[in-house]
Amino acid sequence: MFKLATFTVLSVTLVTANINITSPPITNWGVWGRFQHCPLGYAQGFQLKTESYGGSFFDDTGMNAIKLFCGDPFSFGTTVITSTEGDFGEWGNVYSCYPGYLNGFQLKVEEYQGSSDDTATNNVRFYCTNLADNNYLEGDGLGFGDWGQVQHCYSNQVISGIQTQVEPNQGDDDDTALNNVLMECSDFPPKDYNSSDITKVQIK
């Protein structure tokens, strides 16, 4: 004889919270700057500050800062957030996934070069809600290093905040500027989850 299973269906409210996703620290120089959060809206585009390659005898730094646009990057009045900005380079192209939202990122990082010139993080790719899986927007940083692990928000979340770890100006010593980033992921769309209760089946 086999025992009949009894099923009880429970209604469980789905509770999620903001999470932070952080680059795996291939390099770890510098200090974490201020955390900035979109006061309204969520990240829909980005811009990188990058120092152009200076040649073999130059102290290169690669990527120096990241701006996130909390809305359509090409719309007047969209709030821009950033964290610590390295001293070197220029702001590059603006990348947009509007009307989609950023929901993941990946850094291109050059590992420790010993007595040779270090650059740490050189470029970033962002993943968007309106792009197919494994598609991304790649920034206009430099090409040194390797692409690291993809950091992704949960499927019901998008990027809403940023913090960066940037090495302060080293003067005559080897500079690397931006080393690591942290992105905050928030629930999207923000809503009363009572309307999306999930059911859990419990087997006794």
For residue 117, the minimal CB distance to Ca ion (Å) is 5
Instruction: Answer yes or no whether residue 87 interacts with Ca ion by CB under 5 A.
Output: no
Contact 164, 83 (CB under 8 A): yes
Q: Can you tell me the distance from the alpha carbon of 49 to that of 87, in angstroms, rounded to the nearest whole number?
A: 10
Instruction: Answer yes or no whether residue 51 interacts with Ca ion by CB under 5 A.
Output: no
For residue 33, the minimal CB distance to Ca ion (Å) is 19
Whole-number CA gyration radius for the chain = 21
Instruction: Answer yes or no whether residue 118 interacts with Ca ion by CB under 5 A.
Output: yes
Instruction: Answer yes or no whether residue 117 interacts with Ca ion by CB under 5 A.
Output: yes
Burial of 92 (0-12, 13-18, 19+ CB in 10 A): middle
In the bound state with Ca ion, the residue whose beta carbon lies nearer, of 111 and 197, is: 111
For residue 89, the minimal CB distance to Ca ion (Å) is 12
Instruction: Answer yes or no whether residue 175 interacts with Ca ion by CB under 5 A.
Output: yes
Number of residues near Ca ion (by CB under 5 A): 8
The amino acid present at 32, given as its one-letter code, is W
Burial of 37 (0-12, 13-18, 19+ CB in 10 A): middle
Residues that bind Ca ion (CB under 5 A): 59-60, 113, 117-118, 170, 174-175
